[in-house]
Amino acid sequence: MSAEKYQAADAAATERQLSNSTQTEHEGAQVKHPWWHSVLEPGSATQIVIAAALAIGIGVAVSYNVETVPAEAVTFVGIPGRLWLRALRACVLPLIVTAIVLAVQRLKKMSSGGGHKLARATIAYYVGTTLLAIVISTILTDLVWGRLMQKVTSEDMPVPTKSEQELYDERSEVGIHMVVQDMFDSLIPQNVVKSLADDALLGILVTAVVVGYLLNTTSRIVAVLEEIEVLITRIITFLIKIAPIGVFFLILPNLFRLDIRDIGENLGILIGGGVANMSIHLFIVLPLIFFAFTRKNPYAYWMRCSPAWLTAWGSASSAATLPVTMKCVAARRVPLTVTKFSVPLGCLVNMDGTAIYFPLCIVFLARTQGIDLSPVDYTIVCLLSTLASIGTTPIPSSSLVLTVMIAGSVNVPISGMYGVIIAIDWFLDRFRTAVNVSGDMYAACVIAKLTGIVDPPEEEGEVGEVTDNTQRV
């Protein structure tokens, strides 16, 4: 008799599932919108693209036609963008802590080996793509861009100011052993509260992993973190709705600083080579890896995640973009466990764009002084660029000090041309950040496929709760 009851219950459950599926499909058919709907939808990717295009058009036109834009105007125009960026940055720390702790909790509930598999796949993917990016960038720089750069005579060499010379001397004292030591020291915070106050994100991430592993799954702390996660998600949803305004006012004042008429041949090659190398990695290398593992259209996936990489371009900060990146990846139905582990980790260690840029800067400093690098030098540059990109903090222009360290390791003197790199770094840093964030988005989907991790049925609905605007793209 009990067997008949179980069969009847199974049949009823199956019927309910089919009914719910049919209802969902019916509701999904009713929410189709005309093509122009996304233009009017607050925070949609279409709105962000339009805002970025308008900012670039206005900024380039002003910088070309106005000899000097007043500093006051640049400051005032940038206030809305800075406020929006600060609000995003405020979400980063609680987002990393809650995401990592809850991700580790989910891994503990899985079958044996799930956590180790996710960690191995994530680290292997990030290190592998970074090495690939550096090798391709080094080859292209040596065979193409380096040969186009011209030696600068002593008369044309920019003369560093007193403050710039002091900066060169200070950064020249940074050795490779100091970088390695700082990188390992950053893994274990000496004072957790101070690390939280100083935004020492890598140490916070490691601490969150340890806390997540040690916490009992029934602990009230886990319930509190889940409530905080819901709160942060609501804040991020609001910030994404006003993202077009934030992106517009982030991009516009920065383009006021771009003087197109003063870009010389060497500087033009540096900018063109950097953008070209990053474009090859972003539009060829990463899509091929993505398609090889997932058999999905990488360009459609990338475009649907456009709010993340557009925010990255506008803010030049992987950390500030992290809330938007996680929201976009969740909207693509990547398991929450993978999203909340791989994306925050990628924000801190997956710096493909930065890695691509290091060899180009070193060759730029060398060739403008008439120095040719040997194959051994290029090998050293590749290895140090990998290490330096992992040790780079996810904040704007943090790679400048490491450029000096790598140049000194291959005996390339720091000349006045380093000032040229500093002058244009704010512009290229935006492309590097967009590549870094795009790499994190691709990685999450590939890692989910590699590990085969799926969310428990009761958590699948959480993805839909955080995808209201990005799903429409």
Q: What is the pLDDT of residues 152-179, one digit of tens each?
A: 765 445 545 555 555 555 555 555 666 6
Q: What is the pLDDT of residues 66-91, one digit of tens each?
A: 877 888 888 898 899 889 888 888 88
Residue 6 has pLDDT above 80, yes or no: no
Residue 339 has pLDDT above 60, yes or no: yes
Residue 377: per-residue pLDDT: 87
3-class secondary-structure state, position 55: helix
Mark out the alpha helices in 145-264 (DSSP H runs): 146-148, 162-172, 176-185, 192-197, 201-214, 220-241, 243-255
CA 389/CA 383 separation, integer angstroms: 10
Degrees, nearest 5: CA angle 123-124-128: 115
Residue 101 has pLDDT above 60, yes or no: yes
Residue 11 lies in a domain: no
pTM beyond cutoff 0.75: no
Top pLDDT among 391 and 55 is at: 55
Residue 359 lies in a domain: yes
Percentage of the chain surpassing pLDDT 90? 19
Which CATH number does the domain housing residue 210 bear?
A: 1.10.3860.10
Count other Cβ atoms within 10 Å, centred on residue 139: 14
Q: What is the pLDDT of residues 360-379, one digit of tens each?
A: 999 988 888 888 888 888 98
Best mean pLDDT range from 149-163, 287-301, 306-320, 393-407: 287-301
Rounded to 5 degrees, what are φ and ψ at 248? Answer: -60, -50
Sequence letter at residue 78: G
What value does the mean pLDDT take over residues 230-234? 87
Which 8-state DSSP code applies to residue 113? T
pLDDT category at 219 given cuts 50, 70, 90 is: confident
pLDDT category at 317 given cuts 50, 70, 90 is: confident
Percentage of the chain surpassing pLDDT 70? 76
With 0-12 / 13-18 / 19 or more C-beta atoms within 10 angstroms meaning exposed / middle / buried, residue 389 is: buried
Residue 166: per-residue pLDDT: 57
Which whole-number Å values give the CA distances from 1 to 5, 15, 67, in the listed order?
6, 21, 90
Q: Are 69 and 255 in contact (CB under 8 A)?
A: no
**Residue pointed to by tokens 């517009």:** 248
Residue 118 lies in a domain: yes
Residue 154: per-residue pLDDT: 52
pLDDT category at 472 given cuts 50, 70, 90 is: very low
Top pLDDT among 203 and 13 is at: 203
CA 464/CA 473 separation, integer angstroms: 14
Residue 293 lies in a domain: yes
Q: How many structural domains does the chain have?
A: 1
Best mean pLDDT range from 110-119, 157-166, 424-433: 424-433
CA 248/CA 80 separation, integer angstroms: 9
Residue 21 lies in a domain: no
Residue 111: per-residue pLDDT: 54
CA 273/CA 269 separation, integer angstroms: 6
Residue 29 lies in a domain: no
Q: What is the pLDDT of residues 381-421, one digit of tens each?
A: 888 888 777 765 554 555 666 787 788 778 888 776 777 78
What value does the mean pLDDT take over residues 446-468? 66
Sequence letter at residue 363: V
Top pLDDT among 20 and 261 is at: 261
What value does the mean pLDDT take over residues 415-442? 84
Q: What value does the mean pLDDT of the chain take?
A: 78
Residue 94: per-residue pLDDT: 87
Residue 25 lies in a domain: no
CA neighbor of 466 nearest in space, from 239, 299, 287: 239
Q: Alpha-carbon torsion 329, 332, 336, 341, what sign? A: negative
Residue 3: per-residue pLDDT: 45
CA 42/CA 106 separation, integer angstroms: 33
1-15, 188-202, 283-297: least confident range: 1-15
Residue 8 lies in a domain: no
What value does the mean pLDDT take over residues 193-209? 82
Residue 309: per-residue pLDDT: 92
Best mean pLDDT range from 154-158, 246-250, 256-260: 246-250
Which 8-state DSSP code applies to residue 281? I
Q: Which domain holds residue 305?
A: 41-472
Top pLDDT among 304 and 5 is at: 304
